[in-house]
């Protein structure tokens, strides 16, 4: 067993998000091109003695986050323990309890998959801490049992995500310099469940263009897309999210916020997942940093205030896998 193990837990960006229909299990089938970002949380686990249960401490941007038993990091540790209980090196004894420390840099309930990424990192770190292994298909099954986005984060790069999130097809890395992204997240949480409820009630765009755009982007990446070619598609990609109309029903002023941000930067603005995070593709990381500085300087006068305080702003890049 290893004494202490740390894993980075990257944010994700939905470059496209097409909702194909409701399944019999209550979830929705999706077609989404997802990419991990350099912006990441850190999950650190350590084997502990003298404690009665797995524990979690949270620091960073979500330092005030109340830790409850249904936290995805604790769920991931518990699910992983059940999966390796009879096969880990110390069997038949159960894998020992763990203390977890989560350093949050990704905003909570922002459409960036922070909780799901933390869970995937905890799953991988727990295996390492216990000296245990799981076959890849079993690990994916455990991940899917925790949450729809969790299997994506085990892939380690850009991927086409289908089903409710359990089918993850790795995609080639972008050629050349990594694409850069500006993230702007209003200081309010938009629960995914509320957005899907609004979508189910009819808040959606007609025509199915998100799926067409998602399929085109998938084909382009498979054929060796560059960061420049991705940026050229920005005006189309920002329309390729079937959950955007529903998010605007849940938070009506989000539309005004997005329009103001687009006007400030003179660039198309997309939405990641169920929102509220707005994303902007930039030609370089330095350009993303300049855009971030402009947003921070101008937010009070140029953007509607949503929630408490100024928006979270970050310049980051897409991590699409090894070249």
* pTM to 2 decimal places: 0.94
Give the pLDDT of residue 323.
41
Give the pLDDT of residue 1.
63
Q: Which pLDDT tens digits describe the chain residue by residue (323 residues)? A: 667 999 999 999 999 999 988 877 777 889 999 999 999 999 999 999 878 899 999 998 754 567 887 899 999 999 999 999 999 999 999 999 999 999 999 998 899 999 999 999 999 999 999 999 999 999 999 999 999 999 999 988 999 999 989 899 999 999 999 999 999 999 988 888 899 999 989 998 877 799 999 999 999 999 999 999 999 999 999 999 999 999 999 999 999 999 999 999 999 999 999 989 999 999 899 999 999 999 999 999 999 999 888 999 999 999 966 44
Give the pLDDT of residue 287.
95
Q: Is the dihedral of CA 237, 239, 242, 243 positive or negative?
A: positive
Please pick, among 12, 41, 104, 118, the residue that the annotation labels catalytic: 12
Catalytic residue check, 12: yes
Give the pLDDT of residue 63.
47
- β pairing state of 159-163 and 312-317: unpaired
Catalytic residue check, 41: no
Please pick, among 70, 149, 242, 308, the residue that the annotation labels catalytic: 149
Measure the CA–CA gap between 202 and 195, rounded to whole angstroms: 11
Measure the CA–CA gap between 248 and 260, rounded to whole angstroms: 15
Q: Which domains, and CATH codes, for the chain?
A: 4-170 (3.30.230.10), 180-317 (3.30.70.890)
- β pairing state of 312-317 and 18-22: unpaired
């Amino acid at each position: 067993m290893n004494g202490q193990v740390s894993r980075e837990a990257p944010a994700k960006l939905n470059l496209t998000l097409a909702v194909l229909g409701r399944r019999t299990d209550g979830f929705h089938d999706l077609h989404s091109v997802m990419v991990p970002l350099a912006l990441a949380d850190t999950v650190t686990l350590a084997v502990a003695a003298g404690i009665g249960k797995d524990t979690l401490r949270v620091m960073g941007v979500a330092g005030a986050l109340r830790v409850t038993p249904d936290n995805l990091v604790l769920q991931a540790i518990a699910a992983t323990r059940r999966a390796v209980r009879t096969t880990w090196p110390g069997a038949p004894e159960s894998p020992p309890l763990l203390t977890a420390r989560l350093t949050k840099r990704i905003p909570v309930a922002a459409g960036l998959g922070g909780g799901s990424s933390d869970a995937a990192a905890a799953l991988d770190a727990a295996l390492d801490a216990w000296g245990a292994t799981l076959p890849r298909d079993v690990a994916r099954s455990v991940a899917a049992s925790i949450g729809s986005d969790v299997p994506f984060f085990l892939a380690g790069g850009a991927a086409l995500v289908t089903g409710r999130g359990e089918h993850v097809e790795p995609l080639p890395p972008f050629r050349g310099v990594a694409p850069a992204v500006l993230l702007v997240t209003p200081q309010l949480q938009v629960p995914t469940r509320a957005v899907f409820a609004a979508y189910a009630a009819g808040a959606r765009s007609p025509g199915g263009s998100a799926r067409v755009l998602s399929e085109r982007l998938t084909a382009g990446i498979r054929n060796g897309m560059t960061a420049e070619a991705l940026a050229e598609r920005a005006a189309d990609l920002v329309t390729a999210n079937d959950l955007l109309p529903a998010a605007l029903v849940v938070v009506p002023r989000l539309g005004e916020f997005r329009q103001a941000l687009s006007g400030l930067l003179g660039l198309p603005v997309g939405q990641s997942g169920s929102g509220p995070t707005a994303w902007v593709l930039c030609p370089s990381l330095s350009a993303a940093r300049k855009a971030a500085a402009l947003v921070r300087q101008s937010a009070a006068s140029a953007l509607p205030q949503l929630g408490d305080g100024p928006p979270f702003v970050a310049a980051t890049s897409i991590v699409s896998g090894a070249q």
